[in-house]
Amino acid sequence: MWEDVILFAVIGFVAQMVDGSIGMAYGISASTALLSMGVPPATASACVHAAETVTTGASGLAHWKLGNIDRKLLARLVIPGMIGGALGAYALSSIPGDLLKPYIAGYLLLLGLFIVWKATGQKQTRDGVEPKAVAPLGLFGGFLDAIGGGGWGPLVTSSLLGQGTTPRYAIGTVNLAEFFVALTISTTFFLTIGLELWPIISGLILGGVIAAPFAAYATKHIPDKVLMIMVGTVVVLLSLRTLINSLG
């Protein structure tokens, strides 16, 4: 049992370092690892979201302490994200998450390329732009995260960055908002299918909590341009992977 906990703690540490640093990919990273080990999809999703409740709380708190949070943006994201997460969890039994993945992956691929172009192009649009349509973005992001086993960070962070939100505020705020979304989704899973495999959950939590302050520190000190290139590159790679798997 302890060997399993340590193994999943390593997975949780790596996943949280990625997610806490660039605002995305905890669920995708952890779920992919669990599925490759033979964990059933529904169980993997439930375990990851249960662990995310703790890891995103630790990550969000670290971002808050380091000044990476935009409170106004947070307020606009949280409630729609929770509603979308609850709706997505209920819909999971009747709408296959794989059905939407190719379309979302295509959108994210284009968005990731745009973010890389924006970060590396000679003409830079100014950061700090007030984002638009935040509530619909949070609603859809929460819904996608629940039915797809991940996607809150790639969709919401990428969209905010694409609109010109300052990278460290977009990343930190999305991380803290994700705590409330994950709490809603994991509660819904608990009430519907229950939670199993506590060695997985506890290991993911342990690794994620250890990684959270280091990831938040990286976000605060890595230059905005570098962060944007990292985000864009990760989005492109994950999107391509999803498209290839969906079409294969």
Q: pLDDT band at 126, cuts 50/70/90?
A: low
Query: For the segment 224-234, what is each residue's pLDDT rounded down to a tens digit?
Result: 788 778 877 87
In angstroms, the Cα distances linking 29 to 14, 43, 68, 74 are 8, 15, 23, 24
- Token readout for 149 is 């086993």
133 contacts: CB under 8 Å, gap ≥ 6 = none
Q: pLDDT band at 137, cuts 50/70/90?
A: very high
- pLDDT value at position 45? 77
Query: For the segment 93-123, what is each residue's pLDDT rounded down to a tens digit?
Result: 676 666 766 776 787 788 788 778 877 875 5
Q: Mean pLDDT throughout 135-148?
A: 90
Q: Mean pLDDT throughout 63-92?
A: 93
Q: pLDDT band at 145, cuts 50/70/90?
A: confident
Task: Say whether pLDDT at 24 is over 70.
Answer: yes
Phi, psi of 125 (to 5 degrees): -75, 150
Task: Say whether pLDDT at 125 is over 60.
Answer: no
- Predicted TM-score (pTM) above 0.85: no
Residue positions counted in the chain: 248
More confident residue, 150 or 166: 166
Matching residue, tokens 């939590």? 205
Task: Say whether pLDDT at 35 is over 90.
Answer: no
- pLDDT value at position 82? 97
- pLDDT value at position 34? 83
Least confident of 14-28, 53-67, 70-84, 195-209: 14-28
209 neighbors 145 (Cβ within 8 angstroms): no
